[in-house]
Amino acid sequence: MNRKTIMAKNPNNIKPTTGAHPAGVAHIATLDLVAATLERLDGRRSGLPGIAVLHGPAGWGKTFATNVLANELRAYYVQWRSAWRSKTLLEKILFEMGVKQHGRETVPKLLDMVCEQLSTSRRTLILDEFDYATKNDTLIELTRDIYEGSQGSLLLVGEELLPKKLEKWERFHSRVLTWAPAQPVTVDDAAKLANIYAPGLQIDDAVFERLVDLAKGSVRRVSVNLTQMHEHSLTHGVDEFSMAEFEQVSIYTGRSPERRL
């Protein structure tokens, strides 16, 4: 990511940890994708739309990546809940923004408060689990109102079919600047994740390749299986993992366990 670009858009002049994320954070491919997407939003030319959509299957690292970068770049991050409606969403956004509420504000007033803070701060608003909004016309229109009222930057995060779902609302769909598909986990990602979830283990390249193959793109599955390997190594006193050792571990593939009689 271009460090100068980020610093220019950071209203509080807080330095992001570009290229060296905090301890316990693996610099996986989807993290780079989200970073580039946020940079494109912040650096867009006047007149261009300010909404981006990050989409991909569950477990592909979308929430992880957006959380990390929200903390680094001081974006507002809100993870949507299935039970939320307009007022609750706006209240949760304002809470994340640190804007005080008195509990008597109407929905229009809350909307104005969100738009004003987003416009003034020039910080990106990230709405995770955005698929929940597509079940309700009102929530889609409310999100569009937030964008139109602030002319700020919005990153919407959801499952792989989110772009298709949004086609239903042309006035919303046409305001998307970029569609960012989450990246499947790679062997390089797996090696970086091993430093966190299986520290101290020497793992053969063939094992990493097998982990990625079994994961079917999921960062989460690789992380879970690395944890399984680490626990196995502690139990059996193993510090090197070959394919022979790997075959002794109960690996999660995403399939439900078979019934045992």
- What pLDDT does residue 26 have? 81
Encode 9-38: b = buried (16+ Cβ within 10 Å), e = exposed.
bbeeeeebeeeebeeebbebbbbebbbebb
Q: What is the mean pLDDT of residues 75-99?
A: 96
Domain map (residue ranges) of the chain: 3-181, 187-246
Q: Is the pLDDT of residue 196 over 50?
A: yes
Tokens of 131: 């698929």
Q: Is the pLDDT of residue 19 over 50?
A: no
Q: Is the pLDDT of residue 2 over 80?
A: no
Q: Is the pLDDT of residue 9 over 90?
A: no
Q: Mind listing the pLDDT tens digit for each residue in 93-135?
A: 999 999 998 888 999 999 999 999 999 999 999 999 999 999 9
pLDDT tier at 10 (50, 70, 90 boundaries)?
A: very low
pTM: 0.84
Q: What is the mean pLDDT of residues 58-87?
A: 94
Q: Which CATH class, in words, describes the domain spanning 3-181?
A: alpha beta
Tokens of 255: 């399939």
Tell me how far apart the alpha carbons of residues 26 and 68 are, in angstroms, rounded to a whole number. 10
Q: Mind listing the pLDDT tens digit for each residue in 163-195?
A: 999 999 999 999 999 999 999 999 999 999 999
